[in-house]
Structure 1
Amino acid sequence: MKIAVEGCAHGELERIYCTIQEIEQNEDIKIDLLICCGDFQSTRNEDDLCCMAVPPKYRRICSFYKYYNGEKIAPVLTIFIGGNHEASNYLQELPYGGWVAPNIFYLGYAGVINIAGIRIGGLSGIYKANDYLKGRFEKTPYTDSTIRSVYHIRNLDVFRLKQMSQPIDIFLSHDWPAGVYNYGNMEQLLKRKPFFKDDIESDKLGSKPCQDLLHYLKPQFWFSAHLHCKFAALVPHDDNTITKFLSLDKCLPRRHFLQIVNIDHNENEKIQINYDLEWLTILSLTNHLINIKNAITYMPGPGNLERYDFTPTEDEKTLIFQKLGESLKVPNNFKPTALGYNNTSKTNSKQPPAKLNPQTVELCNLIGLDDPLRLVSENSSDSASESKVESDISLQEKIKELKLPEPKHEINNVNMINTAESDGLKIETSIPIKLSPKRSLDGEVRENEEVTKPEVNNGNPSPKKFKRRNAQIYSTESHDS
């Protein structure tokens, strides 16, 4: 199989595909697969640009939207991992991977797939120690902090990858594994990038978790990007195997951003993306370890009563295989979840609300997974509802303190309900209680202000009656508010 490996794509899909087609014509070959090592920038519209952690001057729409809209079709099957310059809101929809456009597949926070017998794994994002042990707590709208922490790798993803027992042929990371420069031409590297010297001498260049995975998984090939230079190395392991490491530059003229490699594959199988059964089983077995809190959480280990080795048994894999209908082919189930760019000027772009992707919903329902984005969104809604209830209870105490006269009319049909239009609770009454226009409960003067009062039983508010919250998250249509 002939595979084109790309460094940082930075949204330049048209240029990358044109380069591949020129290579095919000049060398009379057919490229079977394109692999991109991060900074893919799958920006569908101007709102997605607002979810990228880059200065405004670098927020260019580039050409991905043409493939998302269907104006163009990717001429070669394309897979990619995330980097640190991404439309993070879109990639958050696909934590376990999925199609971002026809023929273009994202591997998720971490993932392993199988293409014609070649096992390809990847880890999205970059390493930052402050966020490594935290959960996936981010959602749009991002703050100045979470717009960056959202693309930082987490210990759960590395833990899951270390449960793999079968050999990996190709592994992708955006970061370089720490210490990999020791196995290549470091002198030449420092001539091109002299400012790497201090980080190399202080052992700060590269990712420690990726270094750990490199020596644990021992893949045949490891491809990276991020540092915008071409660098090759041969990394030996203690069992006499060797990993061929290659990092490539970003897509710019006269830069080494693309490399063609040949890898043996099963010629009896179609070149299509299949689920990796071992990986999906590991996801299912570790589902209970998902963390959505902005707090440190450690993975299980020896010495605890709970299970800590999640390398699946044959029976566990068989169960997942049955849940998949005994087919590992990834369905071509791409569906747009937002409107694509249409070359018209938009001046009111903003970070869009979080949305669930039908591909993720389908996979989660099939094999019993939780979507971290759904969990954190529902948790946010619950927190908002609880705060509203607390506020309502406080409101009643303030009403009592005012010693208002009893209403002349009986109040009936008082309920706390939740609506799709509101993330919180609202209180409905048949007749509102009117406060004096000279005094409001928070000390401000408000004319004709109405305050509603919930039914109280023994001093406690009536039970909450919840309906489906956060309806925008479940919508697959994008509407400007």
Structure 2
Amino acid sequence: MAPESLLVAGVGDIHGRFRRVESWLDALSEARGREVDLVLAVGDVEAFRLADDHRRKAAKRAMPAEFAEYADGVRTMKRPLYFIAGNNEDFEALHDTPEGLQLAPNVHYLGRAGVKELHGLRVGYLSGIHAPRFYEQPLKRPRSLDTAKQAGYFRVPEVETVLGVKDVDVLLVHEWPRGLPQRAQEQGVPPGRTLPSYWIGNPITRRVVETVHPKWVLCGHSHRAFAVTMGGHGGRPATRVACLDQAARPEEAVFWMELQGREVVCAGWGTSGEVSWRAGQPWGLGVLPAPSGPTEPMGTGY
């Protein structure tokens, strides 16, 4: 019997734009001629119930708090969406459930660090970004704007948890692993492509990837699409990394993978359903969609 086919969509920083993301997933399902089975979001989901919540950044308070419609049952997410925390979340609501919880029908917070089996896939995850000053400090309850900001930083015990996981199909992280531009430079930069700063990302996430050796890594935070291969030396398996833009336009904010069993057989960007990569082909900047204009400033993660 052939292994079961699965369509998985990765989504970049949603920043509260739930309706928009759902319309993109509708379009992708129609284009592929099948339903999206599983949605994985890479943080900065911003599942706030109130638009003017003082914990939201000022730039976001002018936008509607779309998540309230899902939390109150006015709308229901059509497909199961699992997300990690970025550095901009309702951390007060997430604090007491570091192992994850369901926030609304089909909307699930995975937790701060660990691994879960979703639709037969082993999905590892590390929420937050790296802040060296707080890396070894205990996590405080987010009672103020300051402690809420600190809740968006991962800590040593969380990193140690994810370092111990094995046999990971997809690893979700918010901040890029350090060294992706250098790796892309080694693999060759196609004409018309520019590389971000060599200092983008953090070394802790890189260590996690190099230790866990996941088949795929999905990340966000820096609001730019990027694709590169890590590892693959000394007999160790290669890891394919896909960095996603924020949910501003689907071409670079949505990345989908079609699997047979636990193996990705093809993948693509956006909602057109067009395949940009098939198993056995190289993975790198050449699989990205054509540049569509200037990107937003990198590293903001606002």
Which TM-score band (shorter chain)?
Answer: 0.7 to 0.9
Structure 1: distance between partners of 2:162 and 2:250: 36
Structure 1: distance between partners of 2:200 and 2:25: 31
After superposition, residues 129-148 of structure 1 pair within 5 angstroms as 129-140=132-143, 142-143=144-145, 145-148=146-149
| Structure number with higher helix proportion | 1
Query: Could you tell me how far 1:191 is from its partner in structure 2?
Result: 5.2
Instruction: Tell me what 1:179 maps to.
Output: 179
Q: Does 1:231 align with 2:235?
A: no
Question: Given the two structures, how large is their TM-score scaled by the length of structure 1?
Answer: 0.50
**SS at 2:97's partner residue?**
coil
**1:62-105: CA deviations, max 9, x gaps?**
31111111111110011000111211211213211110111111
Q: Does 1:11 align with 2:16?
A: yes
**1:255-299: CA deviations, max 9, x gaps?**
511011122337xxxxxxxxxxxxxxxxxxxxxxxxxxxxxxxxx
1:247 is aligned, of 243, 250, 256, to 243
| Equivalent position amino acid for 1:27 in 2 | R
* Contact map agreement 1:51 1:89 (CA 8 A) in 2: no
1:98 is aligned, of 76, 98, 101, to 101
**1:28-71: CA deviations, max 9, x gaps?**
12210011101100102257x2223x2x2322333111111111
Gaps of 5+ in 1: 267-481
Higher RCO structure, 1 or 2 (CA under 8 Å, sep 6+): 2
Instruction: Tell me what 2:209 maps to.
Output: 214
Provide the aligned length of Structure 1 versus Structure 2: 253
Structure 2: distance between partners of 1:126 and 1:7: 15
| Equivalent position amino acid for 1:160 in 2 | T
Instruction: Tell me what 2:31 maps to.
Output: 26
| Equivalent position amino acid for 1:210 in 2 | T
* Contact map agreement 2:164 2:212 (CA 8 A) in 1: no
Structure 1: distance between partners of 2:152 and 2:250: 29
**SS at 1:263's partner residue?**
strand
Query: Could you tell me how far 1:15 is from its partner in structure 2?
Result: 0.8
**1:117-165: CA deviations, max 9, x gaps?**
210011111101000011112331x14x32321111101101111222x
Q: Does 1:57 align with 2:62?
A: no
Bigger radius of gyration, 1 or 2?
1
1:35 is aligned, of 40, 49, 69, to 40
**SS at 1:105's partner residue?**
strand
After superposition, residues 387-466 of structure 1 pair within 5 angstroms as none
* Contact map agreement 2:114 2:161 (CA 8 A) in 1: no
1:89 is aligned, of 77, 88, 92, to 92
Structure 2: distance between partners of 1:180 and 1:229: 13
* Contact map agreement 2:50 2:65 (CA 8 A) in 1: no
* Cα distance, 1:190–1:180 mapped onto 2, change above 3 Å: farther
* Percent identity for Structure 1 against Structure 2: 23
**1:193-232: CA deviations, max 9, x gaps?**
6xx43xx1xxx32121111110100001000011111100
* Contact map agreement 1:43 1:61 (CA 8 A) in 2: no
* Contact map agreement 1:234 1:244 (CA 8 A) in 2: yes
Structure 1: distance between partners of 2:153 and 2:130: 6
**SS at 2:133's partner residue?**
helix
Structure 2: distance between partners of 1:137 and 1:93: 11
* Contact map agreement 1:126 1:152 (CA 8 A) in 2: yes
| Equivalent position amino acid for 1:154 in 2 | R
Instruction: Tell me what 1:479 maps to.
Output: none
**SS at 1:111's partner residue?**
strand
**1:429-471: CA deviations, max 9, x gaps?**
xxxxxxxxxxxxxxxxxxxxxxxxxxxxxxxxxxxxxxxxxxx
Query: Could you tell me how far 1:254 is from its partner in structure 2?
Result: 6.2
Query: Could you tell me how far 1:189 is from its partner in structure 2?
Result: 11
After superposition, residues 212-361 of structure 1 pair within 5 angstroms as 212-237=207-232, 238-253=234-249, 255-265=251-261
Structure 1: distance between partners of 2:14 and 2:72: 19
**SS at 2:200's partner residue?**
coil
Instruction: Tell me what 2:275 maps to.
Output: none
**SS at 1:261's partner residue?**
strand
- State the Cα RMSD in Å: 2.1
1:125 is aligned, of 119, 125, 128, to 128
* Cα distance, 1:155–1:248 mapped onto 2, change above 3 Å: same
Structure 1: distance between partners of 2:206 and 2:96: 28
Instruction: Tell me what 2:158 maps to.
Output: 157
Instruction: Tell me what 2:290 maps to.
Output: none
Q: Does 1:167 align with 2:167?
A: yes
Structure 2: distance between partners of 1:250 and 1:148: 20
| Structure number with higher strand proportion | 2
* Contact map agreement 1:16 1:251 (CA 8 A) in 2: yes
* Contact map agreement 1:111 1:121 (CA 8 A) in 2: yes
